[in-house]
Amino acid sequence: MNYYSETRFNNWVNKIREANIDLDNAESLAVFDQMMEDLVVACLNVIRAVKERELTKKEAIQELNAMEQILMSDVSFDDTLKSDFFDFVREGLRVVVNAAKYCVEGKISKKNFNTLIKEAVEKEKKGDFEGAFDTIARMGAKVFKGEKLPEDIDVPEEGMVLNWIDGVDAINTVMLLIEIDASTESDE
């Protein structure tokens, strides 16, 4: 089973090409959120497949690596704003995939979210972007595992950490929607 295909990715790229992006209109940016949430769902399906023994951990990691390869394929837009926004979102997408890898591997940090953010910001300040990215991906793994992002999370105003947290936020959003769906179904 293919959990995320190039075709699926390219469909999103085409939707972005067709979209009329306007920074003054938040709704015009919805296509980026939808693209991110779609990837979160694909990653959740891989995680579920491991839990249900449809995939081995090794197969799941290969599947997630393939997703990351698709995300990193060369994409260009005729519009600088779309290109910049896409690059911004792609960083969040990379966090989602790497968080899923940690979740599959069972590498879940015991540190709280604010501690992880502080660590990531410190690493970014020191120029350790890989370490900062890794720390934020570990936050995402905690969310995939069922922990909710706190409302009062201490997010930086700017920098790469801010980009990456978007990926964790997308995971959190999808997890909350799944929870709402589940409670709605049990109410019926």
Domain span at residue 54?
6-187
- Give the integer Cα–Cα distance in Å for 28 and 20: 6
> Average pLDDT over the chain, rounded to whole?
91
Band of residue 183 on the pLDDT scale cut at 50, 70, 90: low
Report the percentage of the chain scoring pLDDT > 90. 73
> Does a structural domain hold residue 123?
yes
Two structure tokens written together for 3: 């959990």
> Does a structural domain hold residue 1?
no
Looking at the predicted structure, is the pLDDT value of residue 80 above 80?
Answer: yes
pLDDT tens-digit readout, 82-103: 998 899 999 999 999 999 999 9
Looking at the predicted structure, is the pLDDT value of residue 184 above 70?
Answer: no
> Does a structural domain hold residue 152?
yes
Looking at the predicted structure, is the pLDDT value of residue 187 above 60?
Answer: no
**Nearest residue to 59 (alpha-carbon basis) of 68, 51, 67, 50:** 50
**Which of 19-33, 119-133, 173-187 tops mean pLDDT?**
119-133
Locate tokens 């990193």: which residue? 72
Two structure tokens written together for 103: 């979740």
Mean pLDDT of 128-149: 95
Number of domain units in the chain: 1
Report the percentage of the chain scoring pLDDT > 70. 96
